[in-house]
Amino acid sequence: MNPRACLVSVLICLKSKTKVQREPGDSVSIGHLCDYATQVISPCLADEAGRDSADEESLEYEQVAQHSREMAPLGLEVLQVFSEEYSAAFSEDTVLTVISFTSPKDPWTTQEARDLAETLMAEQLAHHQDLSTLNEAILKGYLRPLFSKSKPKAVTASGRKAAFPEEDDTHRGLMDENKEVKPWKYADHRAITVFQWVVSTTTADLMSKQWPLCIPVLLTLLDDGATRVRSRGLAILDAFLRKFPDNILRDTGLASVFEDAVFPTLHFLPSITPEEESIQLLGQAYTALLTLAGKLDASPAAGKVASSTSRAKLLDKMLREGVFSAYFHAKEHVCIVEVLLIHAAKILDEMGIQGVKHLKDLIPMHSEIMTNPFAALAPSTLSAAISCLQTTIKNCWPRLSTPAYQSELIKMLVVCYLTIHDDKDKLGTEQFEAIEADLTQTASMLTIATKSCGSSEDQDRDLSEKVAPLVAKEPLLAKLFT
């Protein structure tokens, strides 16, 4: 019988309450029907009832997703009736399948399916399941065996940093891309979403006990070459770190393990990586690294300078080996540049005055973007550059009193201001006014910063002497430096 027709028939019968009579052995039948509905909708490549193809292993990820997407509303509704009307306690496999529909990131999940899945899990947790017990059972009984053959070499079996990690075999990469080694990727597609659900629902107190079970799974996802997998791994890492105790992160040496796992993603750039995928990965990687930096020691040890802390070193590395390196290799991709600027500003805010060491790279980068004659053609990137420049001035103003920096900053503001006026029609009124206001605010910040860090003789003067000849030649600039 067609699985859709079968689910519809079951649903019709269940909703016809006058035709359904309860019997002592109903719990067994209910369990069988729940298992059947689970098998039909589950995004897995196993030999399960209800599949249309005889050769399950030949189905692609997209085909499995499409099948589950089409069948999920019916299957989940059947489970909902059993849960609400018959107080059914779901089997472990049914619970895992229901959880797999709780993430909007999955192609098999619709808003309707997600709402049903979340309602079902709330009912199960309220009446049949203990959250901490369930999460531990999932980590030990489901995820650990599933990831056992693809576990990372950077950590020990207990989840701690390996003192002498094995070297990766560069020739095994493609050989490991199969469902025998990575069943979580090629067979049971529920795994990543289930892991994400466990991390998101686990409390900080439970995380302090269950973290060794999470580390191998996390690092495996972060090391995978597929964007859909690595992207989810980065998002889960960020959520994990927010709940991970700082003292355990420090004592186990896992901070450097996470750093080493995430940093390669900062180099997933065009043309090797498609631009759209690169944008997605870069944003998530920088977000996770910033969260990691926020959990590291910010205070230097006795007799040490502030720049010697692990937190300061990580932030420096994010700018030098991340933002600046990526900008050098992908500056022609304006959307990539926008992402880099947005996160450069966040890094500078975390660094504070320590960011002055990077002015020699920051100012030329801003200048190249803002003085580009075609800057107005990418208004969102230009806005990100201006915003990042404001952050630079806010945090690094004590060093901006040097004539070289002042002249360069004035030049980029003037050129950018004149460029947007020349291309006013291309920008549109709303975008033009927003960028013009941002430039005026930036000029005002520069004026204040220059007065604040100047000598006593210069404090009574602002940038007016330097910009006066420019305003005299182009009166339009008067509004910029008002």
Q: How many Cβ atoms from other residues are within 10 Å of residue 180's Cβ?
A: 9
Helix (H, G, I), strand (E, B) or coil at 168: coil
284 neighbors 234 (Cβ within 8 angstroms) = yes
For 155, list phi and psi in degrees, rounded to 5: -130, 160
480 neighbors 413 (Cβ within 8 angstroms) = yes
Q: What is the mean pLDDT of residues 376-399?
A: 95
443 neighbors 433 (Cβ within 8 angstroms) = no
59 neighbors 53 (Cβ within 8 angstroms) = yes
71: pLDDT strictly greater than 50: yes
> Would you place residue 428 in the very low, low, confident or very high pLDDT band (cuts 50, 70, 90)?
confident
10 Å CB burial of residue 47 (0-12, 13-18, 19+) is exposed
Q: Which residues contact 303 (CB under 8 A, 6 or more apart)?
A: none
Instruction: Return the structure tokens found at 449.
Output: 């910063």
Nearest-angstrom CA–CA distance, 232 and 214: 14
Q: Which of 123-137, 330-344, 395-409 has the lowest mean pLDDT?
A: 395-409
For 169, list phi and psi in degrees, rounded to 5: -85, 110
Nearest-angstrom CA–CA distance, 99 and 351: 39
Percent with pLDDT over 90 in the chain = 70
> Would you place residue 389 in the very low, low, confident or very high pLDDT band (cuts 50, 70, 90)?
very high
Nearest-angstrom CA–CA distance, 356 and 348: 9
Q: Which of 43-52, 218-227, 405-414, 422-431 has the lowest mean pLDDT?
A: 43-52
Nearest-angstrom CA–CA distance, 210 and 139: 8
Mean pLDDT score of the chain, rounded to an integer?
A: 88
- pTM score of the predicted model: 0.90
Q: Which residues contact 99 (CB under 8 A, 6 or more apart)?
A: 117, 121, 190, 193, 194, 197
Q: Which of 299-308, 335-344, 410-419 has the lowest mean pLDDT?
A: 299-308
454: pLDDT strictly greater than 60: no
> Would you place residue 48 in the very low, low, confident or very high pLDDT band (cuts 50, 70, 90)?
very low
Residue 170 has what pLDDT? 53
Instruction: Return the structure tokens found at 438.
Output: 């941002």
Beta bridge partners of 188: 44
Helix (H, G, I), strand (E, B) or coil at 142: helix
Domain borders along the chain are 3-129, 357-482
Q: What is the mean pLDDT of residues 298-308?
A: 62
171: pLDDT strictly greater than 80: no
- Per-residue pLDDT of 183-223, as tens digits, reads 999 999 999 999 999 999 999 999 999 999 999 999 999 99
- Per-residue pLDDT of 456-478, as tens digits, reads 455 445 677 888 899 999 999 99
Amino acid at 124: Q
